[in-house]
Amino acid sequence: MARRVRNPWWVLFIVILFGGVLGSVIAEAVVGFSPLGFLAREVRIGLDPPIHLNLRIISVTLGAVVRLNAAMVLGVVLAIWIYRLL
């Protein structure tokens, strides 16, 4: 039996990132179409507003926000499914 060669982890990361971006584009496209409007509802998780630390010599701003919506999740699942087929 021939062994299947696995792709490196960074290829999976790029595929997941592409799936999230594709899902975000789909969510923006269907936001005005009411039957598919549930795909565009999002949840924001993170530091909003960001934390700002001023030490006179250096100023540091820390913040990150993760946006999740149903279309992004569907895009990531679809991208992983396609990745597994390759």
59 pLDDT higher than 90: yes
Residues pairing with 43 in the sheet: 68
Question: Rounded mean pLDDT of 65-75?
Answer: 89
User: Residue 25's closest CA among 79, 81, 64, 83?
Assistant: 79
- Three-state DSSP at 81 gives helix
Residue-range domain boundaries for the chain: 9-85
Structure tokens at 36: 């598919």
**Tell me, what's the pLDDT at 2?**
58
* DSSP secondary structure code for residue 74 in this structure: H
Question: pTM higher than 0.85, yes or no?
Answer: no
What are 74-84's pLDDT values in tens digits? 999 998 898 88
Q: Which residue has the tokens 């990531």?
A: 76
Percent of the chain residues topping a pLDDT of 90: 27
Residue 39's pLDDT band, with cuts at 50, 70 and 90, is confident
